[in-house]
Chain A
Amino acid sequence: SQKIEQNSEALNIQEGKTATLTCNYTNYSPAYLQWYRQDPGRGPVFLLLIRENEKEKRKERLKVTFDTTLKQSLFHITASQPADSATYLCALDNLDANKLIFGTGTLLAVQP
């Protein structure tokens, strides 16, 4: 069966450390993978997109890797801040590039 798995337990880290979130998928062959941030009571906000032929993408303190052999994406936030605390969702396309399938998200809590 098809699955997208993200750490179901909350990730607690200390301010200034690097947060690493994992997204694993099974029985999908995505052309690209996206990461979104969601704050309580709000809609998801797009952060980064990485294509299947890209190994790594960076944007300011964010870095995403995409390993199609391992079927895994890693999302890193360097020099984390309490303001980075949120739920982070990964999403991938399912044959139709317009149809995003979302993971259930990982709650990140950055302690001051």
Chain B
Amino acid sequence: DARVTQTPRHKVTEMGQEVTMRCQPILGHNTVFWYRQTMMQGLELLAYFRNRAPLDDSGMPKDRFSAEMPDATLATLKIQPSEPRDSAVYFCASGFSRGADTYEQYFGPGTRLTVT
């Protein structure tokens, strides 16, 4: 049963600290997405990659967030320095693109981040 995995599942950190979240997409999927979910804003797209290349990161605060795919089996989302307003659940999702489009997305279990 292929699944997207994310680590850590929970992270509590102090303001100003660096946070790194990791995601392993489903083998064979070529598109990876990072989302953030809060009660107020719902589910928001932060960035996505196709064949490991960043295609869009317009939803991400550039000054403190960065996303990378060092290889096809690992995507990372880093926040440095973290702030209390970054507290949210961060989801990674993957999908397979047919042509230019990715349709159904498969989500991981999320990383619940709390910044104090």
Contact = CB atoms under 8 A, between A and B. Distances in A.
Interface of A: 32, 34, 41-46, 49, 89, 96-105
B109 A49 contact: no
Contact of B93 (A41, A43, A99, A103): A43
B97 interface: yes
B45 A104 contact: no
B100 interface: yes
A105 B42 contact: yes
A7 to B, nearest CB: 14
Contacts of B108: 43
Q: Which 10 residue pairs are nearest across A and B when measured between Cβ atoms? A: A43-B107, A97-B101, A46-B104, A102-B43, A104-B42, A98-B102, A44-B107, A43-B91, A43-B110, A43-B108
A97 B100 contact: yes
Given A34-B104, A43-B107, A98 B97 contact: yes
B56 A44 contact: no
Contacts of A42: 109-110
Interface in B66-114: 91, 93, 97, 100-110
